[in-house]
């Protein structure tokens, strides 16, 4: 019953927000086009439930600036003040409502991560792929990007083990407070967050 209620809430909230916030979505899209150029949307393959890949969609927050060899410059260089504002307010996440409507994501769940991270999860951390990934989750209301990978993935596992519809509602309520306070936007020393594969290779835990 909790799983059914969760999916019904996902559909109702995602559809309702898309209808309610379309002026904001349109304005954001026009500003992204004017300030960052095309494409407006950032699309990237992420891993969802059952380790199935899907295309995550967000508003673009970085430029495509490259070095002399054609390689993308570091995130901190490509992230503009406007892009930072989109991240701080979570406006960049709003297109993910479409991912929810299509059944690839949920409002609440572990954040969907990159395919190249798959070899670096422990057996316990792989629990994150037994549920739909979310726009927000237990890790996001307990530090967001400011906490380390070990703590973040442990919180994802705890979410799966302790899932209930009531807890999802509590996480959504806590998320509103986190967004308003603009907490945990980035990890220390990073524009966003260190890569999991780099961190675990350095620790020798691959």
- Ranges of beta strands (E only) in the chain are 41-47, 53-59, 106-108, 134-136
Section 162-186 average pLDDT? 83
Q: Which residues pair with 59 in a beta bridge?
A: 41
Kindly compute the dihedral angle of the four CA atoms of residues 204, 47, 125, 179, in this order, to the nearest 10 degrees.
100
**Spans of all domains in the chain:** 2-203
HSE-up (13 A, CA, CB side) for residue 15: 9
Tell me what pLDDT residue 37 has: 87
- Helices within 21-148 (DSSP H only): 22-36, 75-78, 81-89, 96-101
Residue 125 pLDDT > 80, yes or no?
Answer: yes
Q: How many other CB atoms are there within 10 angstroms of residue 148's CB atom?
A: 14
For range 165-171, the mean pLDDT: 95
Q: What is the pTM of this model?
A: 0.85
| 206 closest CA partner among 110, 119, 100 | 119
Q: What is the residue-averaged pLDDT of the chain?
A: 89
Per residue in 19-47, pLDDT (tens digit) is 999 999 999 999 999 998 889 999 999 99
| Pair of tokens at residue 78 | 């490509």
**Would you state the structure tokens that stand for residue 24, as one six-digit string?**
């904001």
Q: How far is CA 85 from CA 52, 59, 67, 182, 196, in A?
A: 31, 12, 25, 10, 25
pLDDT of residue 192: 62
């Amino acid at each position: 019953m909790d799983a059914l209620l969760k999916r019904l809430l996902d559909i109702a909230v995602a559809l309702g927000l898309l209808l309610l916030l379309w002026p904001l979505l349109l304005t954001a899209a026009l500003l992204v086009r004017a300030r960052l150029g095309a494409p407006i949307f950032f699309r990237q393959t992420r891993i969802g439930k059952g380790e199935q890949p899907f295309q995550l969609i967000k508003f673009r927050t970085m430029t495509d600036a490259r070095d002399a060899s054609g390689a993308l410059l570091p995130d901190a260089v490509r992230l503009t003040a406007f892009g930072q504002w989109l991240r701080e307010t979570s406006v960049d996440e709003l297109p993910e409502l479409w991912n929810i409507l299509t059944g690839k994501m949920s409002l609440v769940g572990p954040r969907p991560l990159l395919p190249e991270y798959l070899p670096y999860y422990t057996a316990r951390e792989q629990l994150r792929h037994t549920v739909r990934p979310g726009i927000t989750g237990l890790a996001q209301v307990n530090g967001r990007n400011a906490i380390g990978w070990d703590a973040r993935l442990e919180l994802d596992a705890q979410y799966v083990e302790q899932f209930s519809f009531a807890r999802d509602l509590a996480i959504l309520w806590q998320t509103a407070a986190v967004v308003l306070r603009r907490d945990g936007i980035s990890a220390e020393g990073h524009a966003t967050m260190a890569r999991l594969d780099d961190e675990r290779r350095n620790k020798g835990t691959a």
